[in-house]
Amino acid sequence: MFDPEGFQTNAIDSPTMGPFHNSFSIRSMEEFSGVKAHTIRIWEKRYGLLTPDRTGTNIRHYSLDELKVILNVAYLNRHGHKISRIAAMTLTERDRLVRETAGASNSSEETLNSLKLAMLAFDEAMFDRVTAEYSKQHGFRHLVESVFVPLLEHIGMLWQTNVICPAQEHFVSNLIRQKLITATDGLTAPTGTKDRTFVLYLPENEIHELGLLYVNYLLRARDEHTIFLGQSVPSDDLKHLAAVRNGQLVMVTILMGTPPAGEIPAYLSNLRASLPDGRIRFLVTGAQLAKVEEFDVPPGVQTFPSMRELVKALDEL
């Protein structure tokens, strides 16, 4: 489910193509839409769906509006509409059919396409409008797991292939972060009587907290007591918290970029040794764990291969 923040990329800004100039190469169109460049050329030539500008060497440049056309045409085609019929429609008719198809199929695909366009245009109002409508229909949890996670995963791929710039990824990530915090703040204060507190933290130098924010939301929505410590928490701070907090403590952490995979067994062993109290347990997931060969997990520590597995375990607690 939730490994959207482990994007370690080294994208190099292109001086001539990409969203930096609101102009897209055919490769970028392919990356965004999932439609092969060969098919895009056929749709362009046979049906006149696109009219890209061309350089003196005949290299195509597509506009943001043409990207929207391809996203909508591809969406309708994947849902059984013939390309000849789609091409014969006006833009207004095509947009209407997209909305009708999205409503009938209960699919998140059209929402994802709209959020990609909002990202490219740095359009916060559009992002808010689209996500609010989806959340109203399907609920916030469905919005996160069916829309935000695939969106972040696709953005990671687009960044790695130099189709978008880092500012666009940051724009979307920060909007999602705001929505997670706002949704959590909108929940009523915990009133449960369980003698248990979840402590949510990231290890030192770890800053990718979207997954942790979502876990906090899920737990608070279940009326669990949580203490959210967030980014880059020294182990000694956990010891201090445990010394002043009574009852069961469930420490939850996500290892996206740190510690390095080779240091994780030692990190978990030292963590358990520094907090050996039987009332304390640790739940650990993150992309780094997938890079570690099988190792002996210390008593009182549970590891999960994915956020999906962690969330499932939390649901069953």
Q: Is 60 exceeded by the pLDDT of residue 181?
A: yes
DSSP 127-194: HHHHHHHHHHHH-HHHHIIIIIHHHHHHHHHHHHTTSS-HHHHHHHHHHHHHHHHHHHHTSPPP----
Question: What tens digit of pLDDT does each residue of 132-170 get?
Answer: 999 998 999 999 988 998 888 787 767 656 677 788 888
Q: Is 60 exceeded by the pLDDT of residue 234?
A: yes
Q: Is 60 exceeded by the pLDDT of residue 277?
A: yes
Q: What fold is seen in the domain 13-106?
A: Multidrug-efflux Transporter Regulator; Chain: A; Domain 2 (1.10.1660)
> What pLDDT, on the 0 to 100 scale, is given for residue 225?
93
Q: How confident is the model at residue 6 (pLDDT cuts 50, 70, 90)?
A: very low
> What pLDDT, on the 0 to 100 scale, is given for residue 248?
92
Residues 196-222, mean pLDDT to the nearest whole number: 92
> What pLDDT, on the 0 to 100 scale, is given for residue 22?
63
Q: Is 50 exceeded by the pLDDT of residue 7?
A: no
Q: Which of 275, 307, 270, 273 is nearest to 288 (CA)?
A: 307
Residues 175-204, mean pLDDT to the nearest whole number: 90
Between 315 and 165, the higher pLDDT residue = 315
Q: Do residues 40 and 27 touch, judged by C-beta distance below 8 A?
A: no
Rg from Cα positions in the chain: 23
Question: What tens digit of pLDDT does each residue of 55-106 get?
Answer: 878 788 888 788 888 888 888 888 888 999 998 988 888 888 877 776 565 5
Residues 193-213, mean pLDDT to the nearest whole number: 89
Can you identify the CATH homologous superfamily of domain 108-186?
Methionine synthase domain (1.10.1240.10)
Dump strand ranges (E) for 10-139.
23-24, 53-54, 60-63
> What pLDDT, on the 0 to 100 scale, is given for residue 167?
86
Q: Is 90 exceeded by the pLDDT of residue 290?
A: no
d(CA 166, CA 13): 9
Domain ranges for the chain, please list them. 13-106, 108-186, 196-316
Question: What tens digit of pLDDT does each residue of 105-133 get?
Answer: 556 888 888 898 888 889 999 999 999 99
Q: How confident is the model at residue 301 (pLDDT cuts 50, 70, 90)?
A: very high
Residues 246-264, mean pLDDT to the nearest whole number: 89
Q: Please determine whether the domains at 108-186 and 196-316 fall in the same fold group of CATH.
A: no
> What pLDDT, on the 0 to 100 scale, is given for residue 103?
59
Question: What tens digit of pLDDT does each residue of 9-35 get?
Answer: 333 333 334 444 467 888 888 888 888
Q: Do residues 255 and 283 touch, judged by C-beta distance below 8 A?
A: no
Can you identify the CATH homologous superfamily of domain 196-316?
Cobalamin-binding domain (3.40.50.280)
> What pLDDT, on the 0 to 100 scale, is given for residue 4?
39
Q: Do residues 190 and 223 touch, judged by C-beta distance below 8 A?
A: yes
| Total residues found in the chain within this entry | 317
